[in-house]
Chain A
Amino acid sequence: MANDEVILLDFWPSMFGMRLRIALAEKEIKYEYKDEDLRNKSPLLLQMNPIHKKIPVLIHNGKPICESIIGVEYIEEVWKDKAPLLPSDPYERAQARFWADYIDKKFYDSARKIWATKGEEQEAGKKDFIDVLKVLEGALGDKPFFGGDNFGYVDVALIGFYSWFHAYETYGNFSTEAECPKFVAWAKRCMQRDSVAKTLPDQHKVLEFVKILREKYGLE
């Protein structure tokens, strides 16, 4: 669509922002990327997401869409002729939404405990995290991607977290390859796509970022 103005308010390490970056790339949509300083949020961000004041925010022709999964659905519906991310069958769509919602409910909190806490809380987080990975491996099964043969909605919802895995493994002291080899194989398969490879930040850069956060929390 010509004359579309698309702006993305984001923060480079955000796995939620990455969802939108990947979806936009898959659909080959041109957009302006604005990196926010979360300690000093821009007037635009506060105006576009007054309720939550959070990134990512997708702004299409001046109208904001907040919440990353809602943004992915929006992109899917507006630019529906290119690279569909959701299947057409209603049951398959319900399954895709279920897993994206599961990732939102379970993945972030357990992963966060691995790098942001210590002692018992960290151990509990690590255990939950590996359980979550195993559940997701079960959902993936023998398929190349969560939706089947094609890269899609659930893959988009999940793959951004992979850029944080070096940090999780370092601070959690475990190897994802050892615990969940299928998961790692899936992640590497996704990384072969341009949209993913060009979006995900370098894992070492993320590790450095997490180190700074840990210093702030008094964990280093």
Chain B
Amino acid sequence: MAENDLKLLGAWPSPYVMRPRIALNIKSVGYDFLEEQFGTKSDLLLKSNPIYKKIPVLIHDGKPICESLIIVEYIDENWNSGPSILPSDPYDRAIARFWATYIDDKWFPALRGIAAAQGEDAKKAATESVIEGLVLLEDAFKNCSKGEKFFGRDKIGYLDIALGCFLGWTRVTEKLNNLKLLDESKTPGLYKWAEDFCADSAVKDVMPETDKLAVAAKWFPLRRVLAVAQGDDAIKAAPEPVVEDLVLLEDAFKNCSKAKKFFGGDKIGYVDIALGCFLGWMRVTGKMHNVKLLDEAKIPSLYKWAEDFCADSAVKDVMPETDKLAQAAKILLPKIRADASS
């Protein structure tokens, strides 16, 4: 239970949410972390951030503060007896804010651009712009760190937080696209910094594991692909990315589960729930498209996981029967398609 009345609305995969968490760790301030469920927005979120309806939101004594970097500055100013997060010199502060703005406005959108790129040429161009950005940031790192470990010099500061929160997604992008973005030969300073950042006590517990993030990255957007495909070609093609990604998830499952039953180990965890809730729909979709999505030959571990998941006592009574879902699908799908095309 937090000593202050301090709540943070967020979600574990979000790099923006990680920023205030790191800041609060630096200040050794306790808080209640209220996890938003993917795909829904809680009443508290809608009430606390009516303008953007986005996480993170910090609620201190009932008063909301929105926008991740604004929250970090608030934390720094409100708990001003703890280690400082922004530099003390006004010019250094201006430089830190400049690069944080650059990261948010230019660099992270470029990183997201790699996943969105269609075709080899587009992917190559997107990758180059990310690497160019990292070269600029390497230079900024040299100037800010002045030979020490972090942008904030001897300890993590504002700019470390602003950039470091994206390391998880950087690694996922590298993994899923078979790329090297943080290259020790091109950006040696940043390469080392990334290791030091992730090892820092304020960061370690809030940086998600790359494999868990890979699951979130691939699966969450895909759930609509199956539902909204229209026309024979699209319907035939729709399962392909799903099947490809299930193969990737097979790999992620092996790494996360470490030979145990679930992503969460011996017991069902967050990722099991996030993925497992779609098993019903996967079966229905498989039936409708006449394709085996959970193919024991292709993805034996996930196949077994699916059986174990559905048999689990926490799941059994809430997992709908495939036939009932198929009937619901007949009614719901036209509506989902109509929503998607509007």
List which B86-145 residues lie within 8 A (CB) of chain A: 90-91, 93-94, 97-98, 101-102, 136
B65 contacts the other chain (CB 8 A): yes
Min C-beta distance of B104 to chain A, whole Å:
10
User: Is the CB–CB distance between B98 and A67 below 8 Å?
Assistant: yes
| Chain A residues within an 8 Å CB radius of B101 | 67, 70
User: Is the CB–CB distance between A98 and B66 below 8 Å?
Assistant: yes
Q: Which residue of B lies closest to A74 (CB)?
A: B94
User: Is the CB–CB distance between B91 and A91 below 8 Å?
Assistant: no
User: Is the CB–CB distance between A94 and B71 below 8 Å?
Assistant: yes
User: Is the CB–CB distance between B74 and A90 below 8 Å?
Assistant: yes
Q: Binary interface profile of A, 96-107, with partner B (CB < 8 Å = 1, else 0)?
A: 011001100000
User: Is the CB–CB distance between A51 and B90 below 8 Å?
Assistant: no
In-complex Cβ contact of B74 among A66, A74, A93 (8 A): A93
| Chain A residues within an 8 Å CB radius of B73 | 93-94, 97
User: Is the CB–CB distance between B65 and A91 below 8 Å?
Assistant: yes
Min C-beta distance of B83 to chain A, whole Å:
16
User: Is the CB–CB distance between B93 and A101 below 8 Å?
Assistant: no
Min C-beta distance of B302 to chain A, whole Å:
41
| Chain B residues within an 8 Å CB radius of A93 | 73-74, 77
| Chain B residues within an 8 Å CB radius of A97 | 67, 70, 73
Given A65-B91, A77-B93, are A51 and B70 neighbors across the interface (CB < 8 Å)?
Answer: no
Given A93-B77, A101-B67, are A74 and B90 neighbors across the interface (CB < 8 Å)?
Answer: yes
Main secondary structure of the interface of B (DSSP, over half): helix
Q: Which residue of B lies closest to A79 (CB)?
A: B90
Given A91-B65, A98-B66, A102-B51, are A70 and B94 neighbors across the interface (CB < 8 Å)?
Answer: yes
| Chain B residues within an 8 Å CB radius of A91 | 60, 63, 65, 74, 78
Q: Which residue of A lies closest to B91 (CB)?
A: A63
In-complex Cβ contact of B70 among A60, A67, A71, A94 (8 A): A94
| Chain A residues within an 8 Å CB radius of B70 | 94, 97-98, 101
A78 contacts the other chain (CB 8 A): yes
Given A67-B98, A73-B97, are A98 and B90 neighbors across the interface (CB < 8 Å)?
Answer: no
A135 contacts the other chain (CB 8 A): yes
Separation of A65 and B89 alpha carbons in the complex (Å): 13
In-complex Cβ contact of A51 among B65, B67, B91, B102 (8 A): B102
Q: Which residue of B lies closest to A93 (CB)?
A: B77
Q: Which residue of A lies closest to B100 (CB)?
A: A70
Min C-beta distance of B131 to chain A, whole Å:
16
Separation of A172 and B154 alpha carbons in the complex (Å): 54
Q: Can you sample 12 A-B contacts with CB below 8 Å?
A: A67-B97, A74-B91, A77-B90, A91-B63, A91-B74, A93-B74, A94-B71, A94-B74, A97-B67, A97-B70, A97-B73, A98-B67
